[in-house]
A and B are shown apart, each in its own frame.
Chain A
Amino acid sequence: MDLLWLVPTLPLLGFFALFVAGLFVSEARPLKWFSGIVGAGSVGLAALVALVVGMDFYAQDAEPQWYLLWTWMDVDGFTPSIRLYLDGLSLVMMGVITGVGFLIHLYATGYMWDEGGYSRFFAYMNLFVFAMLMLVLGDNLLVLFLGWEGVGLCSYLLIGFFHAQPENGYAARKAFVVTRVGDTAMLLGLFLLFREVGSIEVQASMAGARELWPEGSTMATLIALLLLGGAVGKSAQLPLQTWLPDAMAGPTPVSALIHAATMVTAGVYLIARTHELFLLSPTAQLAVASVGLATLFIASFTALTQRDIKRVLAYSTMSQIGYMFLALGVGAWSAAIFHLMTHAFFKALLFLASGSVILALHHEQDMFKMGGLWRKLPIPFASMLIGSIALAALPFTSGFYSKDAIVLASFDFEPAGWLFWGGAAFAAFLTALYTTRMMVITFFGKTRIEPHDHSRINMWGTLALLCLLAIGGGWFGLAPVAAVLPDGGLGEADHTSAVALATMAAPFLGIALGWLLFHNRRINVDGLVASPFGDAMRRFWFSGWGFDWVYDRVFVKPFIIVARLNKADVVDFAYRIIAAVTRGLHYVIALTQSGRLRWYAANMAIGLLVAFLIVLDAL
């Protein structure tokens, strides 16, 4: 049954229906019902079809399959096709996108009910799901790029969804432009790959690369690094990570879907998809691992100091994707995709649960104005608690299995495995620490604002399902990718070695310290922060290690200042000088036309004389 094409088509049709309806029908209750049903329904159907496709895939021995739709263009041997490719990796991605995507759509039908632009919201969301599916299903890097840019556009549209506030528009533009810097690198990578290998089809070009280049080849390194440039932009890794915290300006379901579960992991998918290229280049592998580790560190410390609950989660997302990059870099390919999946479960849960809290507090996002909510908002509290223990990777939660696999794999990395392991384990400690801080400040202590729970059944029902996934989503491993990725799937984890025990202990230490610091107050955290050094440190971390500050001064400000100075176009100046000179000459010659007869007579006489002399000279 060739139903695969239907999976991306359904959300696309949903988008068209909502787009047209939004253009010609004004905002009304029936339109809302229509939008909700079409918006969530199309993704739900896509998820069902994806399930059927998946079962069919295993019925046919899990052989990779192609579905040609049409040849996009044919220019002089460059013939990218709109062709879908299904293997274990794209199957997992498709499942996460449609499955988690459907749950988030369902939640959003309740969450967005009282907001304006209901149909526009679901139109963008459906378009996003379509683009994301094209990204993971395209067998050609150009089709992947189509999805890649498409999700970027939808991310822009949804971050700036409440477009009456200029700061939302700014955040949206920042996200689009910063990721586009990475996209440009990726585009150049495609050009180079095409020039060298003659194809940008994933399977063909990877096979070509393997044949063409030995391990350690400069060309492979160059292309891999250019693709990495695209990946760090989309996945908010160093040095293009600055857009993600601001992207929290979007509605919370958007943060859950795009900026946690799916789009931001596109970079991880890209690297996994082109792993052959990265295997050829130890340099690029090391770069991937280092980027991951550095981001993991910086983001974890930053999360420790945030006040806004969504920003804590944003930095946490950034750091968890750092884990995935680390995994890719150290060669734990399957663990990276595994963590991608479990992270999609628990982070979507955390975002949606925090959305319920925010909604109950009338759009208050500052944790320090919350507190004491655990009795009053039991469902969001329970959901967030489950999400948090999965994020902190306590044993038997989904996050534990995937994160443990990554941390342990980094110990075996050459060179300096102990460094990568130590960093990853320390970051696990930090993760538990900031998660505890978030939970304690939000849900314990004094109640500062009286909440009004607006949860509808479609909202808490979604939370319940995601709770199940956040706990049990990691119990069964990740078999489908074993045939695709070079490490042959997740290995059997040995939980008895000293390294493994230390890894497992790290989150507990974090929770214990967090409890002492923020709940018991056994350690005076306020005094620590109040000291000059502590305060400087806190502000440095709070600002995300000053990246925005630097970029603002190095790129943004000069760009704006020169633009202002040159508004009148310096090139036109040259033409204006020509015009002015011409006008000046005109003025001088016009002076000779004075109307005085004597002046004319004298001129004529002189002219005649000169002419006469010239003629005489010529003779």
Chain B
Amino acid sequence: MNILGLILFLLIAGGVAWAAERVNPNAPRWVGLIAFIAAGAYVANAWAGGYAYANQYIEWIPRFGIHVILSMDGLSLMLTALTLFLGAVAVVSSWTETKRRTGFFQFNVLWVMAGVVGVFTALDLFLFFFFWEVMLIPMYFLIAIWGHENKAFAAMKFFLFTQISGLLMLFAILALVYFNYANTGSITFNYNDLLGAELAPDVAFYLMLGFFVAFVVKLPGVPFHTWLPDAHTQAPTAGSVILAGILLKTGAYGLIRFVIPLFPDASAQFANWAMFLGALSILYGGYMAYSQSDFKRLVAYSSVAHMGFVLLGAFAFVDAGGAAGMNPLGMQGAVVTMIAHGFSTAALFMMAGALQERLHTREMSNMGGLWMRAPRMGVMTMFFVVASVGMPGLGNFIGEFLVLLGAFQANVPLTVAAALGVVVAAVYGLVLLQRAFQGEPNPDVPAMRDFGLREMTVMTLMMAALIWIGVYPQPLLDLSAPVIETLWIAP
């Protein structure tokens, strides 16, 4: 599979979409949708044909050991597939919402996704950082230009948090390369060369911390999460879908792909703190979700809680003959959580966007009884709330259950605390449903259009995905199992 070609295709499609606005303001949407479907079909075809696994290696700046290394393994593959699918969902969810500068809008959507695909496949740290920035700038524009009432503030907050943490990561990358150079005498940014880098324990610890903070800001974990509710609330629907569905996963991916394999000892040493932050995110994120009265803010905080499971599971190292060992249960749970949360939360943000478009409010006190007005929207909200509450038989449960089962082998008190998060999830999930869709119909609410074919198609696809993951997650697990095995290089 030609990964570079895939990324370039998305970038070029972005340019085409921008230009297409001159022809017709509706044209860019079609360009965006077709580009994502085409790219998705390409990946799906390669996946089904069994030749999705790929490795591309091109010289870039040989003097500094910088290469274009793009590699597709099982983990990258499922995340790329999710990215392209949610790209299409994002385009559809903003179909009627964006009316200004539709060309530039689609350009930004396509460029974010191109950057994300790069992040999920780059195996050169310099290239990784490059893509990390590529996905950031268009996202900033999406919030700053098409956002809601307080967009400038939210966009700036998002930008600063990501940029400062990115800087931290850049320092850590450069330091890692430097220390490796001091040991071996060669400069390289190649991930595979850096994997076994010999570092003094305290150096490794601080470098690990640099990467860790950068990725946990993105995840986001408590206490670095406060950019998220603002960014989500203000972003246009497509922006929220991309942010929650995909961008948060880049943080999770970074933890799994870079932090743990590059610094196994330091990670194991830090594991209890990381798990603590995970459990804290689950409880605090869930509690904050309950405290909100804004539909989108509530869902945004619930993402903090769900991503806490990733942190908890990824760092649940177990004792393997006296040394720290990888915990496949926790790690697989983290991966499944990433995918399942991508679907469930994208759907809920799409719902939030659809409500705002119809009612011009996100405040749940202005809703109520919407089930009577729009039963299909009610049923769909209920389904995705139930999924995100962790109902067995749906995707999120598999992820969370495996995470907790794995974490229990590593740290019982933190697992008990995290398990209580399941109760909190029930509280905020059901309150969301109650305030928006149940109760006495609000007389101030105007008659609203229920979901039509366009929305129902997308929702049904996401529903099917969650049922599939919940009932038979094995294809997903088989895809990530070999990757997880190689992540852990025995010290």
Contact = CB atoms under 8 A, between A and B. Distances in A.
Interface stretch (A142-150, A428-436, A449-457, A458-466): A142-150
Contacts of A142: 392, 401
Main secondary structure of the interface of B (DSSP, over half): helix
Interface in B429-443: 430-431, 434, 437-441
Contacts of B12: none
Interface in B397-422: 397-398, 401-402, 404-405, 408-409, 415-416, 419-420, 422
A569 B301 CA distance: 11
A567 B332 contact: no
A173 B481 CA distance: 38
A196 to B, nearest CB: 11
Nearest to A26: B375
B434 A169 contact: yes
Interface in B362-395: 369, 371-372, 375-376, 379, 386, 391-393
B288 interface: yes
A488 B318 CA distance: 43
Interface stretch (A45-53, A72-80, A99-107, A206-214): A72-80
A156 B430 contact: yes
A72 B332 CA distance: 14
Interface in A48-94: 70-76, 78
A164 B441 contact: yes
Given A150-B392, A164-B372, A192 B439 contact: no
Q: Which of B287, B372, B393 has the most CB of A within 10 A?
A: B393
Contacts of B474: 71, 73-74
Contact of B434 (A78, A153, A173, A564): A173
B148 to A, nearest CB: 18
A169 B433 CA distance: 10
Contacts of A188: 408, 415-416, 419
Contacts of A571: 222-223, 225-226, 284
A187 B397 CA distance: 12
B346 to A, nearest CB: 20
B477 interface: yes
A146 B439 CA distance: 29
A315 interface: no
B329 interface: yes
Contacts of B65: none
Nearest to A19: B379
Contacts, number: 124
Interface residues of B, number: 55
B422 A187 contact: yes
A194 interface: yes
A566 interface: yes
Given A150-B393, A188-B416, A563-B287, A164 B369 contact: yes
Contacts of B408: 188, 191-192, 194-195
Contacts of B439: 163-166, 169
A299 B293 CA distance: 38
A74 B477 contact: yes
Given A76-B328, A177-B427, A569 B405 contact: no
Contact of A150 (B222, B391, B402, B440): B391
B292 interface: yes
B181 interface: no
A567 B423 contact: no
Contact of B291 (A156, A160, A566): A566
A145 B392 contact: yes
Interface in A163-203: 163-166, 169, 172-173, 176-177, 180-181, 183-184, 187-188, 190-192, 194-195
B130 interface: no
Contacts of A78: 329, 402, 405
Given A73-B398, A572-B226, A164 B430 contact: no
Interface of B: 222-223, 225-226, 229, 284, 287-288, 290-293, 328-329, 332, 369, 371-372, 375-376, 379, 386, 391-393, 397-398, 401-402, 404-405, 408-409, 415-416, 419-420, 422-423, 426-427, 430-431, 434, 437-441, 471-474, 477, 481
11 contacts: A78-B402, A149-B392, A150-B391, A163-B437, A163-B438, A177-B423, A177-B426, A181-B423, A183-B422, A194-B405, A194-B408
